[in-house]
């Protein structure tokens, strides 16, 4: 009978995570910083010989600029193909962020389109550009190199799943009946992108916009998160994510962000992330619905329905503050948003029409009976503060009837009867009339195209822009991590403990306990949580290091005591 396998041997049989190009660069940088090969090997769970091989390829690895997640460097790969794969990964991330399923066929078609665009933009391109077939072999290698997941081999991306929608609707109605929810207690939220400076294509102002110096197409995008209940009588303060934390216009207009009609947050991509979403739930959604339920003498329970976008964490209940533990979460199945998502049933579309109407009205007010041109309006009389006012007006303009009717596909019994099926307003006609008053050639179909265009797929130029922004963000993160490294774990632990003591003391002794409680929760969520997360990561890493060290000792013991007896 053979010798028993050591723990290290058993662990070694498990498939190890592939060493990505980013990891190889990290290994080289740590070695350059004075870290020993044996220590690096222990940290990454690799043999010292593997680390040595990586270090021998130092120059080649550092000179390579490949797509994020790539594990192997392939000789003689065209630079344009590397660029295609980098942009493709950003595009896939965007699709998954929106909750869409992407298939192999759709990815390959997008890869071919990106390749054609990049070849076309290269100087001195020949009349017969190089053909990139995006074959199945390429896709399999790309998938291996980049480690992408959530990709189906067959099927259409984001095609509506009718059977899944029908099954979910039955499940939803059963839950509502069992738990005794009424329409006032059931909420839905959804994000949407808004190009806040965009006008219909055939208006003259668009031609001027394209020639404005320094105009960057991605920089005028923001993301909004809307939420309301099924009865339509409670709208939650929207979350707005922009690329800048403190725009220049805020200083000019002396804006207090805490008093805005939206919850203002920022990151370089203007995306809703998990952290920002949890922030919104605890600071805006939770307090608003709790107060609403108490004011209306309703039981303290609520249901939040949302899609499976990556920003919506599956374990959201764990992240809720204790006072909001009465909130339950339910997720829509993949590819059912067009069929079931209430916010997607003309609520967000109507918001964008109302926003466009406000944009035209603002333009008319500024330029009417003046010598101000549209170009001057765009440059000197329209900024993000004006945009926020229009967002607030448009969101207020969404009627209770509109919000209630949006649940017709999922919960028809909650929709209040109406005396008339006629449309509530003629927003599109109003936009066209305002445009023609200003001498702009705009048609109803142009407005509809604009509303749909806010959610259009990003162009190659916009993907390149996002890639550049991602690189800038990565540089900022590395600088932030360097700052974190200067904080010792002991110091972090001490500060977190002291904060806990301060919070407990204030809760017990402050003469206005609810004030102390709310202020403490706000500071805890917005400030101290990041320090706690850093400390948790440190503790987890230290635990892993001790585990690897222990396994290494187990692996070395047999060799020091000689071969086992037979």
Q: Where residue 45 sits, what CATH number does that domain have? A: 1.10.10
State which residues form the domain around 16. 7-62
Same domain as 402, residue 266: yes
pLDDT at residue 391, as a whole number: 96
pLDDT at residue 202, as a whole number: 56
CB 225 within 8 Å of CB 239: yes
Last residue of a domain, one of 17, 38, 62: 62
Same domain as 316, residue 225: yes
How far apart, in whole angstroms, are the C-alpha atoms of residue 240 and residue 250? 15
Highest mean pLDDT: which of 284-298, 321-335, 552-566? 284-298
Same domain as 526, residue 446: no
pLDDT at residue 174, as a whole number: 95
- Taking 60 as the threshold, does the pLDDT of residue 167 lie above it? yes
What mean pLDDT is reported for the chain? 77
Query: What CA–CA distances, in Å, run from 489 to 43, 498, 559?
Result: 18, 14, 36
Same domain as 451, residue 306: yes
- Taking 50 as the threshold, does the pLDDT of residue 211 lie above it? no
- Token pair for residue 165? 């929608």
Bridge partners, residue 190, by sequence: 226
How far apart, in whole angstroms, are the C-alpha atoms of residue 484 and residue 258? 28
* Residue 62 or 561, more confident: 62
Of 216, 165, 528, give the one whose Cα is nearest residue 340.
Answer: 165
pLDDT at residue 262, as a whole number: 96
Highest mean pLDDT: which of 173-182, 246-255, 345-354? 173-182
pLDDT band (50, 70, 90) for residue 156? very low
Residues 24-34, mean pLDDT to the nearest whole number: 84
Same domain as 195, residue 56: no
Same domain as 537, residue 405: no
Same domain as 495, residue 447: no
How far apart, in whole angstroms, are the C-alpha atoms of residue 241 and residue 554? 50
Same domain as 411, residue 370: yes
- Token pair for residue 101? 């399923």
Last residue of a domain, one of 62, 82, 97: 62
pLDDT band (50, 70, 90) for residue 65? low
Three-class DSSP category at 10? helix
Residue 94 lies in a domain: no
* Residue 471 or 551, more confident: 471
**Cα 413 to the chain's mean position, in Å?**
33
Compute the residue count for the chain. 566
Query: Count of domains in the chain?
Result: 3
Residue 475 lies in a domain: no
Query: What CA–CA distances, in Å, run from 275 to 35, 267, 279, 539?
Result: 33, 11, 6, 21
Same domain as 317, residue 271: yes
- Taking 60 as the threshold, does the pLDDT of residue 216 lie above it? no
CB 458 within 8 Å of CB 91: yes
The DSSP code sequence of 61-105 is HHT----TT---PPTT--HHHHHHHHHHHHHHHHHHHTT--EEHH
- Token pair for residue 273? 């992330």
Encode pLDDT of 404-440 as tens digits: 999 999 999 999 887 554 444 577 778 777 777 766 6
pLDDT at residue 385, as a whole number: 94
Same domain as 403, residue 292: yes
Three-class DSSP category at 183? helix
Last residue of a domain, one of 47, 62, 77: 62
Highest mean pLDDT: which of 62-76, 86-100, 350-364, 538-552? 350-364
Encode pLDDT of 541-565 as tens digits: 666 555 545 544 444 454 444 444 4
Residue 70 lies in a domain: no
pLDDT at residue 441, as a whole number: 66
How far apart, in whole angstroms, are the C-alpha atoms of residue 202 and residue 520? 52
Highest mean pLDDT: which of 47-51, 322-326, 485-489, 537-541? 322-326
How far apart, in whole angstroms, are the C-alpha atoms of residue 249 and residue 255? 8
Residue 203 lies in a domain: yes
Three-class DSSP category at 195? strand
Q: How many CA atoms lie within 13 A of 202 on its CB side?
A: 14
Same domain as 537, residue 448: no
Same domain as 441, residue 505: no
pLDDT band (50, 70, 90) for residue 244? confident
Residue 530 lies in a domain: yes
With b meaning 16 or more CB within 10 Å and e meaning fewer, what string describes 545-555? Answer: eeebeebeeee
Residue 116 lies in a domain: no
Q: Which of 322-336, 372-386, 497-511 has the lowest mean pLDDT?
A: 372-386
How far apart, in whole angstroms, are the C-alpha atoms of residue 77 and residue 86? 14
pLDDT at residue 60, as a whole number: 78
* Residue 103 or 237, more confident: 237
CB 146 within 8 Å of CB 67: yes
CB 461 within 8 Å of CB 215: no
Q: Determine whether 203 is exposed, middle or buried from the number of CB atoms within 10 Å of its CB (0-12, 13-18, 19+).
A: buried
Highest mean pLDDT: which of 34-38, 131-135, 271-275, 399-403? 399-403
Bridge partners, residue 221, by sequence: 195
Residue 220 lies in a domain: yes
How far apart, in whole angstroms, are the C-alpha atoms of residue 466 and residue 193? 15
Highest mean pLDDT: which of 237-241, 369-373, 428-432? 237-241
Query: What CA–CA distances, in Å, run from 367 to 375, 454, 489?
Result: 10, 26, 59
- Check residue 124 and give left, alpha or beta (phi > 0: left; psi -120 to 50: alpha): left
pLDDT at residue 5, as a whole number: 45
Q: Dihedral sign for Cα 287, 289, 294, 295, please.
A: positive
């Amino acid at each position: 009978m053979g010798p028993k396998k050591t723990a290290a041997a058993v662990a070694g049989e498990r498939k190890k995570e592939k060493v990505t190009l980013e990891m190889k660069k990290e290994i080289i940088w740590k070695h350059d910083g004075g870290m020993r090969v044996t220590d690096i090997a222990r940290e990454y769970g690799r043999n010292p010989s593997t680390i040595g091989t990586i270090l021998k390829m130092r120059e080649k690895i550092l000179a390579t600029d490949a797509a994020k997640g790539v594990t192997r460097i392939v000789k003689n790969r065209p630079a344009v193909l590397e660029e295609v794969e980098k942009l493709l990964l950003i595009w896939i991330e965007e699709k998954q962020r929106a909750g869409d399923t992407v298939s192999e066929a759709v990815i390959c078609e997008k890869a071919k389109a990106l390749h054609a665009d990049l070849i076309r933009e290269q100087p001195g391109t020949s009349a017969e550009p190089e053909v990139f077939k995006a074959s199945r072999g390429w896709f399999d290698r790309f998938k291996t190199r980049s480690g992408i997941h959530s990709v189906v081999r067959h099927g259409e991306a984001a095609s509506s799943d009718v059977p899944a929608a029908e099954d979910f609707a039955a499940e939803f109605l059963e839950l509502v009946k069992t738990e005794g929810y009424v329409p006032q207690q059931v909420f839905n939220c959804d994000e949407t992108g808004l190009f806040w400076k965009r006008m219909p294509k055939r208006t003259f102002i668009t031609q001027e916009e394209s020639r404005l110096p320094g105009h960057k197409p991605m920089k005028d995008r923001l993301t909004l998160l809307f939420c309301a209940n099924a009865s339509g009588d409670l709208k939650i303060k929207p979350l707005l994510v922009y690329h800048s934390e403190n725009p220049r216009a805020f200083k000019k207009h002396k804006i207090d962000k805490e008093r805005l009609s939206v919850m203002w947050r920022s990151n370089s991509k203007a995306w809703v992330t998990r952290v920002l979403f949890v922030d919104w739930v605890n600071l805006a959604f939770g307090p608003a619905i709790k107060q609403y339920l108490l004011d209306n003498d309703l039981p303290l329970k609520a249901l939040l329905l949302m899609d499976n976008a990556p920003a919506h964490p599956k374990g959201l209940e764990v992240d809720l503050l204790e006072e909001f533990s009465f909130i339950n979460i339910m997720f829509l199945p993949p590819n059912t948003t067009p069929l079931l998502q209430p916010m997607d049933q003309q609520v967000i579309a109507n918001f964008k029409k109302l926003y466009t109407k406000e944009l035209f009205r603002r333009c008319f007010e500024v330029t009417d009976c003046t010598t101000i041109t549209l170009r001057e309006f765009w440059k000197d009389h329209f900024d993000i503060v004006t945009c926020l006012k229009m967002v607030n007006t448009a969101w207020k303009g969404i009627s209770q009837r509109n919000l209630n009717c949006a649940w017709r596909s999922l919960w028809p019994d909650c929709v209040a009867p109406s005396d008339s099926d006629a449309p509530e307003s003629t927003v599109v006609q109003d936009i066209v009339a305002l445009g023609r008053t200003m001498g702009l050639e705009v048609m109803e179909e142009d407005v509809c195209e604009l509303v749909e265009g806010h959610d259009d797929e990003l162009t190659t130029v916009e993907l390149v822009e996002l890639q550049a922004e991602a690189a800038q963000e990565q540089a900022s993160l590395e600088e932030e991590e360097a700052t974190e490294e200067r904080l010792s774990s002991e110091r972090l632990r001490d500060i977190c403990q002291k904060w806990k003591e301060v919070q407990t003391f204030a809760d017990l002794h402050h003469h206005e306990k609810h004030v102390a409680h709310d202020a403490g929760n706000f500071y805890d969520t917005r400030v101290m949580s990041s320090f706690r997360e850093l400390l948790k990561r440190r503790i987890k890493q230290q635990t892993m290091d001790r585990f690897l060290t222990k396994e290494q000792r187990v692996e070395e013991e047999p060799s020091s005591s000689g071969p086992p007896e037979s």
